[in-house]
Amino acid sequence: MPEPAAGPEPELALATGPEPAPEPGPAPPPGPAPDPNPTPQAAHPTPNSDPDTPKAQTPRPHPHPALRAWRHPRLRWPKRIALGLVLLLLLPALGAGIALRVNYAGDPGPGTQTRNRDALWLGHAWIDGRKVDADVEALAERLRDSGIRDLYVHAGPLEHDGTLPESAYPQAGWLIEAVHRELPGVRVQAWLGDVLASEGPDGLRLERAETRAAVVGSTEQILEVGFDGAHFDLEPLHSDDQDYLSLLDDLHAVTQDRGVPLSVAAHQIDPFPAANSIRGTLTGHPKWWSQAYFGQVARRVDQIALMSYDTALPLESLYGGYVAQQTSLALEVTPESTDLLMGLPFFHEDDLSHHENAETVETAVRGTRLGLSRTDRDRERFGVALYVDFAAKESDWTAYREGWVS
């Protein structure tokens, strides 16, 4: 049963008997008639309604001990130094972000589209028995009337000693023959690579002459199968690695003797001075090559594909401006005799290094065209490389065709 609603308590009557009648006196002077509907007055005045009434003082809470310590006069200069360090770190990043946004502004120039020198990375399934003739026919149907001339087919990985087991590419001959039949003029290159022991104890060691010699022998071995070229992707490869340059010299001698191209996947170029040194010091994982080193690599090969993805940039405008910058930096140091390809992200992941909502094919294509427009619009030996076939969506192919081919 619910309790009755609370209400005002009744006033207590005083037991003093009847109230005495008032004594007669002079009549009050005439005045205005009383208001029949008087405005009720508050039973209690509002706080501080009387100007003479002092305001109530609210007690102030005691500050937290950590806050009291932070306010200590002895911390005045340490706080200023800390603020200066924060600004030293944030201001360059803020300036770089603004620069990338500006770099993504404007419209690509006319004629900055495919030169029919594009490439596509293909997974290992194409040569290990999982693919059949119908798959090649479907691939050919997709690639006809595109700008793709080279297929980088994963034929490795290399062993850590530089050797390549024949069991790694059992159906290579079948694929090469099928592609040549369905796509005349398209080259099938062997994609070889391995993890380098540049940041850990395990991996391929380029500093060992015998390992480099084994890589050269593996290249000769794979070209005997009938591949139209050799494409290398060795990571993580630090800038200014002279052993890598020595390996490229030896590899290029082999491919030139056979009349086929030597191609490499390349790291991104240092976006601003000392960026690579700072990152390497803080993380132990240098990300970029210097522009000069990129040029040294480009002069030793027939094709160089800059992997312009996995940038960790969270916005399309930043990523597009970054690709435009990378395109310009690479064009400035790549000789006219070398094909320069900008890698497009034909894959979908969302982690610290790759945000798929920012690193889109449409954005990468637009950034590539902007960089080409500003730096070397008439460059003929230029294209894009699509990474990778097995992770691509139909929307990626549409963005490539609409933005770069048509």
Per-residue pLDDT of 104-154, as tens digits, reads 999 999 999 999 999 999 999 999 999 999 999 999 999 999 999 999 999
**How confident is the model over 291-300, as pLDDT tens digits?**
999 999 999 9
Least confident of 27-36, 252-261, 295-304, 375-384: 27-36
Examine the pLDDT at 264 and tell me if it is beyond 60. yes
Examine the pLDDT at 85 and tell me if it is beyond 70. no
Task: Name, of 9-13, 70-74, 133-137, the range with top average pLDDT.
Answer: 133-137
Prediction pTM value: 0.77
Gap between the Cα atoms of 100 and 117, Å rounded: 27
Cβ pair 274, 280 in contact under 8 A = no
DSSP code, position 116: S
Examine the pLDDT at 88 and tell me if it is beyond 50. no
Residue 260 phi/psi, 5-degree rounding, is: -125, 160
Examine the pLDDT at 90 and tell me if it is beyond 60. no
Q: Please report, rounded to a whole number, the percentage of residues in the chain having pLDDT higher than 70.
A: 75
- Please give the mean pLDDT across all residues of the chain: 85
What per-residue confidence (pLDDT) applies to 274?
A: 61
Model confidence at 3, pLDDT cuts 50, 70, 90, reads very low
CB contact set of 69 (below 8 Å; sequence gap of 6+): 75
Model confidence at 18, pLDDT cuts 50, 70, 90, reads very low
Examine the pLDDT at 245 and tell me if it is beyond 80. yes
Note if the bond before 40 is cis, omega within 30 degrees. Answer: no
What per-residue confidence (pLDDT) applies to 97?
A: 75
What per-residue confidence (pLDDT) applies to 81?
A: 67
Gap between the Cα atoms of 202 and 204, Å rounded: 7
Gap between the Cα atoms of 300 and 285, Å rounded: 25
Pairing of β 187-195 and β 262-266: unpaired
152: which strand partners? 121, 189
Cα-based distances in Å from 200 to 196, 204, 300: 8, 10, 27
